[in-house]
Structure 1
Amino acid sequence: MFSEKMGLTLLFSLLVWLGATLFFVFFGPLVLVSPYRQHFLPPFLLLEVATGVVLYVVFVLFRRLDPSPYAAVRLGVVGSAVGLILDTFVIWNKGVFFAGLSDEQLLAFVIWMAFAYGLYLLLPMLTGKKGTSI
Structure 2
Amino acid sequence: MRRDDRDEPFDDLFREIERMMNEMMNGADRNVDFDSQHGAENGFGMDTHVDIHETDDEVRVIADLPGVEKDHIELECDGTVLTISAGSDRRQYDERVSLPTRVNEHTAAATYNNGVLEVVFEPAEQSSDISLE
- What's the TM-score once normalised by structure 1's chain length? 0.23
- Higher-RCO chain (CA-CA 8 Å, sequence separation at least 6): 1
Structure whose residues are more often helix by fraction? 1
Structure with bigger strand share is 2
